[in-house]
Amino acid sequence: MEINTVKVLDPNGKIISSELEPKLSDEQLRELMRRMVFTRVWDQRAISLNRQGRLGFYAPVAGQEASMIGTQFALDKEDFILPSYRDIPQIVWHGLPMHQAFLYSRGHQAGGKIPEGVNVLMPQIIIGAQIVQCTGVAYGFKLKGEKKVAVTYIGDGGTSQGDFYEGLNFAGAYQAPAIFVVQNNRYAISVPIEKQTKAITLAHKSVAAGIPGYQVDGMDILAVYKVMQEAVERGKNGQGPTLIETLTYRFGPHTMAGDDPTRYRSNEEASEWEKNDPLIRFRKYLEAKGLWSEEDENKVIEEAKQTVSDAIKKADETPKMTVDELIDSMFETLPDDLREQKEEFRKTEAK
Please identify which of the residues 51, 264, 339, 346 carries the catalytic annotation.
264
Contacts of 246 (CB under 8 A, 6+ apart): 66, 67, 71, 181, 182, 183, 184, 216, 217, 218, 224
Residues 6+ apart with CB under 8 A from 192: 186, 264
| Active-site residue, 94 included | no
Closest CA to 153 of 220, 77, 94: 94
Residue 234 is among the residues annotated as catalytic for this protein: no
If one counts every other C-beta atom within 10 angstroms of the C-beta of residue 195, the result is: 11
Q: Please pick, among 86, 108, 234, 250, the residue that the annotation labels catalytic.
A: 250
As a whole number of Å, the end-to-end CA separation of the chain is 70
Q: Give CA–CA dist 81/69, Å, rounded.
A: 12
Query: Out of 234, 254, 281, 283, which one is annotated catalytic?
Result: 254
Buried b (16+ CB within 10 A) or exposed e, 312-324: beebeebeeeeee
Decide if 31 contacts 19 (C-beta within 8 A): no
* Pairing mode of beta strands 242-247, 213-217: parallel
For the question of residue 254 being annotated catalytic, the response is: yes
Catalytic (active-site) positions: 250, 254, 264
